[in-house]
């Protein structure tokens, strides 16, 4: 179990949660309701936290978070096999189905 994302804004955390969950990764939201009745707690203690449940998913989840936070990093990529340009969201070349180079 590992914390992969936390933010003061629960909407942003929920957004990241959806992205990670949609990739079939099991996540857990902690402090989800803390911001509602925080009272005496310091703000940093009440940030919602997104945790990955399975250790085997951590690497993949962290990459998804990175991609979600840095959309400018999402660039078209050129297939190393057939040299076609591919959309950033494609994991495989649309033409020859070669895997996206890392
Ligand atoms: Zn290709």
Q: What is the pLDDT of residue 61?
A: 97
Distance 67 CA to ligand 1 centre (A): 22
Mean pLDDT of 43-64: 89
Q: pLDDT tens for residues 2-27?
A: 999 999 889 999 999 999 999 999 99
Q: List, as one string, the DSSP characters of 24-86.
A: T--EEEESTTTTTS-TTS-GGGG--EEEES-GGGHHHHHHHHHHHH-GGG---EE-TTT--EE
Handedness of CA 21, 71, 93, 54 (dihedral sign): negative
pLDDT value at 41 more than 90: no
User: How large a percentage of the chain has pLDDT more than 90?
Assistant: 62
pTM of the model: 0.61
Task: Tell me the C-alpha distance between 46 and 48, whole Å.
Answer: 6
Q: How confident is the model at residue 68 (pLDDT cuts 50, 70, 90)?
A: confident
- CB under 5 Å of ion ligand 1: residues: 79, 81-82, 84, 93, 95-96, 98
Distance 99 CA to ligand 1 centre (A): 8
Task: Tell me the C-alpha distance between 11 and 32, whole Å.
Answer: 10
Please tell me the least confidently modeled range out of 29-33, 35-39, 65-69, 73-77: 35-39
Q: Tokens standing for 91?
A: 């994991």
Handedness of CA 7, 3, 92, 78 (dihedral sign): positive
DSSP 55: G
pLDDT value at 72 more than 80: no
């Amino acid at each position: 179990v590992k914390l992969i994302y936390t933010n003061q804004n629960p909407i942003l955390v929920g957004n990241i949660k959806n992205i990670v969950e949609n990739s079939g990764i099991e996540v857990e939201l902690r402090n989800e309701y803390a911001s509602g009745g925080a009272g005496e707690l310091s703000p940093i203690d009440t940030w919602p936290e997104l945790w990955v449940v399975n250790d085997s998913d951590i690497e993949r989840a962290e990459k998804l978070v990175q991609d979600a936070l840095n959309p400018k990093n999402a660039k078209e990529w050129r297939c190393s096999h057939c040299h076609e340009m591919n959309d950033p969201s494609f994991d495989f070349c649309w033409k020859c189905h070669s895997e996206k180079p890392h």
